Amino acid sequence: MAEQPIHADHRKRMLKKFQENGLGAFSDHEVLEMLLYFAIPRIDTNEIAHGLKNHFGSLHAVLEASASELMQVKGIGERSAVLIQFTFALFRRYQLDAARDQQQTLRLTSYDSIGEYFIPCFAGATTERLIAAYLDNKGRVLRCETLGEGAPGQVRLDTRRLLANALTCSAAGVALAHNHPRGDTVPSREDIALTDRVDAMLANIGLRLIDHVIVAEDKFSSINKLRNPFGRKGML
């Protein structure tokens, strides 16, 4: 059965609205409604979009959901679930690619610049990750890698790998970051202990721990800044 003209006209108006005004002119459920156009060609997706928003509570929760969770919502099949997951994965890929392009000119020489650099690395992460950025003496990123991933509080740092890669990169210092999935940015006692241990190990080979950052969604805290709020201890 062909799509009803009322739906076709509505879609044309929505697409024109986007072309003329951008995504900022849309509510969250309208964003989902439009996205579903590309997976559901012959059904009014407005009601399904409302169902997604009501079920998960927010746009970001919809995008972060698994395929099985998405398909619990009436009207969402495998094709729609894959489209939503692909859209979010594409966004994360864009963030990481843009960050790589900026590495040649970006210099991590302040607490804020380090924290802002690491935030995209954890976009959409539901597990805890530990990431290291190896920096030259001007604060430029020589290499950035994930050193561990797992359940919160259970990720272990491979110190041998960290030290070996820092030396291989001829780094002047290392900036560490890990995330608190769906938590806050307050460092735990274990986070502080890890910071002290890595600081001492790097010092033994003539390198510096520039900072250890805790990320939660779009926020971060710097352990070095918390310890020395008015100084530049740890900065290159």
Residue 56: predicted pLDDT = 95
Q: What percent of the chain has pLDDT over 70?
A: 91
State the Cα–Cα distance between residues 21 and 5, nearest whole angstrom.
24
Q: What percent of the chain has pLDDT over 90?
A: 67
Stronger pLDDT, 4 or 128, i.e. the higher one: 128
Residue 222: predicted pLDDT = 95
Stronger pLDDT, 49 or 96, i.e. the higher one: 49
State the Cα–Cα distance between residues 157 and 207, nearest whole angstrom.
17
Q: pLDDT (tens digit, 9 = 90+) per residue, 208-217?
A: 999 999 999 8
Inform me whether the pLDDT recorded for 230 exceeds 70: no
Specify which residues 213 forms β-bridges with: 177, 222
- Mean local confidence (pLDDT), 58-69: 93
Inform me whether the pLDDT recorded for 229 exceeds 90: no
Question: What values do phi and psi take at 167, rounded to 5?
Answer: -70, -40
Inform me whether the pLDDT recorded for 234 exceeds 50: no
In this structure, are strands 173-179 and 141-150 parallel, antiparallel, or unpaired? Answer: unpaired
Maximal C-alpha separation, the chain: 73
- Mean local confidence (pLDDT), 96-106: 68
Closest CA relative to residue 176, chosen from 188, 166, 189, 186:
166
* Least trusted range by pLDDT, from 85-89, 125-129, 154-158, 201-205: 154-158
pLDDT bracket for residue 100 (50, 70, 90): low
Q: Which residue has the tokens 């979010």?
A: 88
Inform me whether the pLDDT recorded for 8 exceeds 80: no
Inform me whether the pLDDT recorded for 7 exceeds 90: no
- Mean local confidence (pLDDT), 120-147: 91
Q: pLDDT (tens digit, 9 = 90+) per residue, 14-51?
A: 999 999 999 999 999 999 999 999 999 888 999 999 99
Q: What is the mean pLDDT of the chain?
A: 88
Residue 52, H or E segment: helix 46-56
- Mean local confidence (pLDDT), 90-115: 80
Residue 98: predicted pLDDT = 74
Specify which residues 173 forms β-bridges with: 135, 208
Amino acid present at 55:
H
Residue 222 near residue 209, CB atoms below 8 Å: no
Residue 79: predicted pLDDT = 95
- Mean local confidence (pLDDT), 142-162: 87
Residue 154: predicted pLDDT = 76
Residue 196: predicted pLDDT = 94
